[in-house]
Every structure is written in structure tokens, then in C-alpha cells.
Amino acid sequence: MAVRAARVVVIDDTDMVRQVVARQLEHLGLDVLQAADGTEGLEVIRSSKPDLVLCDLRMPKLDGLETLRLAREEFPDLAVIMVSGEGLLKDAIGALKLGAWDYITKPIEFAALEHAVNKALEKAALIDENRRYRAHLEVLNRELQASLRLLAEDEAAGRQIQFSLLPREHISFGDFQFTRDVVPSAFLSGDFIDAFWIDQRHFGFYLADVAGHGVSSALVTVLLRTYVQRQAASLIRNGDQLVLSPARLLARLNEEMAHDGLEKHLTIFYGVVDLKDDMLLYANAGHFPWPVLCDDRSVTVLERPGVPVGMVPGTRYDEHRLPLASRVSLAVFSDGVLEVLPQSTLQGKLDFLKMFFGRMDVSVEQARRELRLREASSLPDDIALLIIQRGACRGDHASA
């Protein structure tokens, strides 16, 4: 819950966006002040001494990064959340290096905004309590500066951004339930999952596995998420239906990655569910192990080989269509899961995955527990898992 009467300054040069955000924050019981640009924002900060500032990154006159820098010079402990409509990783890292506490992208979802604001206010309240009650103020200041310097490191910034971009662990799309888990083997993960509404009729999802580990692989996952979200926005904005065609979207992404000089490639399973026609459209770019789909009649392994994205320019991908039963479960997982299975052969591991995930009562929580996904002290590879179900009845499913 948000701290009542906490004061928040919203700085954004777009009147409608600023006013909508202000109204959402007022619904949380916050005292909200507004500023139309960075110069006005600094004046409001100086006069009101707010608990938190939400600042747009792209503004005329004084942009968000410069506003952040000047505000942090005068008020080193000020909590600042940067907001961007572009979602570029370099902007996010630059903001975090200058002392921003968090980073969210437009269009702003109310749940994401509430979470970021509550988290920042809770942290700000803790700092204030420590300042008032701890005798060794200088020790506290050194610890705080050390924490801010740590956030300035690319790996810490990348981890914060990457995990904030993951969807919630439980989401409803009509009568479908989406759950997921990502367990990184290192500080940053090369695996990434997303699920999102495309329009009132369709939702999309994917599981991607970037080759390698660490910062460079994590950066590609952020770029991937930004790319897909832009395609979804393009459908609403100008009717471009690329996001509704898994094969075409992967082909376009392959061309961009192959020619951008990233020297990275990824495997990805991308699907679109048509809620009106009860249909799954999907394409597979080198993803393995293959996903498992089951209903009350059968268990099907979606064995569709393909070429990873970003490896071979000009690659085209096959698009597949499957009708979805009234009770259905689809499990998609990265190859890291193979490393934690006890079977001695690859075929034995694949047979186990088909058996384990080929049932309607399977859940992410059950997989996490029974496969001990989080118990290993050091994993040889990242593990990602998503399950999409309709009509499942299982006791450990949390509501969306």
C-alpha cells in the first residue's frame, strides 16, 4: 500500500499523460504536484520537497537526464523514477548511473506504476527512518552512496531493467491462465519470457533463449521485448498486423538482428492465441526442447525445428496453426531445464518432459518444487518456463 500524504511531483511535457498519471497517483492517496518541463519541475522540487519524483526522459528545454542530474546534485537522497516512451537500454542505464531509483516505460500500466511508486516510497521511508534513528549518520551515508554506485554498474542496471520487464507470474487472458518462472544461472539471464494483450481478440507470448550469458545476452532480451512491444503498438496505431503473424515477425526480427552487428543470436518460440476462433498460431526459431501441448484427448510435442534468429540473413519461418480444446495446457521451457533432470540420456530427459508437462494439472509451482529449479547453488544454464492453460483445476494455482 502507498504511504498516504506522501508528496509526488510528476514532470512530463505532454499534458494528457501528466494529468492521467497524476489522477492515478491521487487514487493511491498521494499528494500530487505537476510540472510541464524540467525547469518548472526543479522549481516545484525546491519549493515542495517531495518524497518522490516521476520524470519523463524526453522533454524540450531541459530533458529528463539533465533534470535528474540537477535534482540529485541538490537533493542527493531524492527518489526519482524515470519514464520513457522509447524503452532504450542506454537511456535506462544512463538514468540509473545518474541516480534514478527505477525506470518504467510508456504506455504506463497502472499496476506497474503502483508497484514502482510503492517500492520507491517504501525505500524512501526506510532511509528517512534510518536518518532519524541511527546514531551514525555518516555510516549510513557511505552505505547509501555505495548502493547508488552499485546501481551505476552496467550489470546491476541491466538486471534491474530486465527483471522489471518480465510479466507478472500469473496473468489472465480471457479464460486462459498464464504462469511463468525464470531462474538465471548468473547475475543476468539470457532467457526471457513475455505475454501480452495484442487486441481484444488476441494475446501473444514467447520464450526466448539468447546465446551466451551475462550483460550482452541480457541486453538482447531487453531489445527483443522492446521490438515486440513496438510491433504490438504498431497494430493499434496504423493497423500493421505483423505482430499477429509469428512467422513474419520472426523473419523481420531475424533480418534486423543479422544486419545490426549485434553478433548475437537467439532461439524463440512465439505464439498468438485467437480467443474468438480458439486457435493457436506459432512459429519456432530453433527453440529446443520442443513445447508440450495436451488436452483431454492427447499429448502433443510441438516438434518444429528451425534456424535461430540473427544467425542466417534471409531465413524464413514456418507458421503453424492448432485448434485449442476447451481444456488445454501448453508448456514451453528453455534448454536449461535439461541440465537439472537426472536422466542419463537426452531421449530420457525428453520423455520425462513429455510425461511431466503432458497433463492438465501441472503448474509452474509444481515444476519449481518437484524439479528443484531453485535449489541448485549454481546452475550451468538459465532456466525459463511458461505454462498457458484453460480449464485446469489445480490447488496451487494463484489467481491472476
Note the pLDDT tens digit of each residue in 199-244: 999 999 999 998 876 667 777 887 888 889 889 988 988 889 999 9
The answer to whether residue 252 scores a pLDDT higher than 90 is: yes
The mean pLDDT value for 52-71 works out to 88
Per-residue confidence (pLDDT) for residue 399, from 0 to 100:
35
What pLDDT shows up at residue 395?
Answer: 45
Say if residues 5 and 31 touch (Cβ distance below 8 Å): yes
- pLDDT for 137 equals 44
Strands (E), 149-302: 170-173, 176-183, 191-197, 202-210, 266-274, 279-285, 292-295, 299-301
State the Cα–Cα distance between residues 104 and 85, nearest whole angstrom: 9
Give the pLDDT confidence of 357-376 residue by residue, as tens digits. Answer: 999 999 999 998 888 877 65
Give the strands of the sheet with 102-105, arranged side by side: 31-35, 7-11, 52-56, 79-84, 102-105
Mean pLDDT for the stretch of residues 14-32: 90
Given this model, what pLDDT does residue 288 score? 94
169-390 CATH fold: Phosphatase 2c; domain 1 (3.60.40)
For 179, the grid coordinates are: 504462469
163-186 pLDDT, tens digit per residue, is 777 888 899 999 999 999 988 766
Q: What is the chain's mean pLDDT, rounded?
A: 84
d(CA 214, CA 257): 18
Q: What confidence tier does 133 reach under pLDDT thresholds 50, 70, 90?
A: low
How does pLDDT run across 290-302, given as a tens digit for each residue? Answer: 999 999 999 999 9
**352 vs 260: which has the higher pLDDT:** 352
- Per DSSP, helices labelled H in 165-245 are 214-238
Using CA atoms, how far apart are residues 400 and 394, in angstroms rounded to an integer? 14
- The pTM of the full predicted model, rounded to 2 decimals, is 0.60
Range in 16-30, 270-284, 376-390 the model is least confident about: 376-390
Instruction: For domain 7-161, give its CATH number from 3.90.1720.10, 3.40.50.300, 3.60.110.10, 3.40.50.2300.
Output: 3.40.50.2300
Nearest to 79 by CA among 158, 17, 156, 151: 151
Cell triple for 146? 555505495
Q: What is the spatial distance between Cα 327 and Cα 293, in angstroms, rounded to a whole number?
A: 11
Strand arrangement, sheet containing 176-183: 170-173, 176-183, 383-390, 328-333, 292-295, 299-301
pLDDT at 95: 79
7-161 and 169-390 share one fold: no
Question: What is the per-residue pLDDT across 116-129, written as a single tens digit (0 to 9) for each?
Answer: 888 888 888 887 77
List the domain boundaries for the chain: 7-161, 169-390
φ/ψ of residue 140, rounded to 5: -60, -45
Q: How confident is the model at residue 103 (pLDDT cuts 50, 70, 90)?
A: confident
Q: Is 136 exposed, middle or buried (0-12, 13-18, 19+ CB in 10 A)?
A: exposed
